[in-house]
Chain A
């Protein structure tokens, strides 16, 4: 059981027209792990996530989820199988209320119909008390940080086996980012498998078990996050620390 990874990505290729954004990425996520993906802007991190979750159809390679090949499945089918994503830019529904957004998160379970869904909602609101205060407000009226909380809570409502989070810190103040990073660590501690793509490498590496480095459309390096964090090139490129002389 622990042998079969929850998510397995082999030689994934993503093209937009003539341009190749991802030319061969390999990634594995075991159940219970928190895996970080770091890399520069334009390296292909987001394309990798979009290819995994089905927002974009990969032009080559394979994606296996819970042992099943899901490479060509559209996004909505993957959510139904337990692969949810908190997308880059959050993409909450601004004209609908916070509650509506959360209900939509539970779409694959039929919304808020049953007791199980209501319990999930309670847990999400307990995690983010600010959302409970704003439950009936239009989601677009909230601050960036609150919207990110909503996006994460919405992802949780799908009761996913794997939660992918793409660019958590975009547009957020460091304090908020820290708070959210803490939430992710707690969630992972409670058993949620998380795949985190993050610009601010230090934050991601701090909470991850395993990390991948993406550059020029490929996964160029991976390993336990501690090792990756101390890797000289990584330190220089992403952590802004000079090589030891």
Chain B
């Protein structure tokens, strides 16, 4: 469990005492660490990160590794709890001496990791959790990077998509009453104003709520013909059912909380619900995606892409590991400070996006590598989450 305070300080200070004085070439090990949910309800996210990392490393090591050394991946379970995420960060940095640590799915953990990451000075690359402030944290130098979506931009993206489809110009926003949901409200409000539309209903709900008819009635009566969802599958399902009951049929566009099993839970009511992703393995893949899917099949024994939960996680991690490998090469050493600086030099044609460059040190928003223009819209269709262009729901314009 959590060690007593003085033990932790000791654990921190003793290794630091060996690394601070002395040569600029403080050598870390050729490993990439990760704190993620391996157990619990979000275990599929830890699995996705592992898959992306392992396949990327196989490719890299097949070409001789980085700086002549093979890279390895080490993953520790945080089960989505911040204290364990913090402990894992210290373990990865000070015990395993990894050169970089990747993030996990839970934004609360990423937020908690900001402090230890900067105290130690190890570069952090998020691959799933999209919380804005974890990465745009005002630190200088900033050791938090991310190859994934950013909530602020997701909110804007949702609003932009809504603006495109709305006939009445009135938008409703349904968000869960948590840090994640509440954090999105100002971003959605700002984006709606900017797009010149009206946010006529902002409705919240709690985890495990079963009946949102009250909220649905209010949204319906306000005239919103597009509803934005910031929810998880479980509540998303209750939302669409409640809307169905009160006869409210807006276009629904949501953040990736509803990318898990909404199609199974809500059945035909999920059809047409759009979800933001950074990547999808469903439908027609380009050749890079094909290649990766082949490797996934071989290495993990999957038969159908619908067996992949959180494809964005695999793709983000895959790109992130390649970016990190390039940064280490450019830095010329397994050195935290040098690798951090080198990350800004990386240009890479990845699976999710063309990173040109991946990061920009002059723009605090650009600690994030994936831009909203790279966000993809997928849509639920008969229980499968497909890229929208490949479905009847895809707009031709």
Chain A–chain B contact at Cβ < 8 A = no
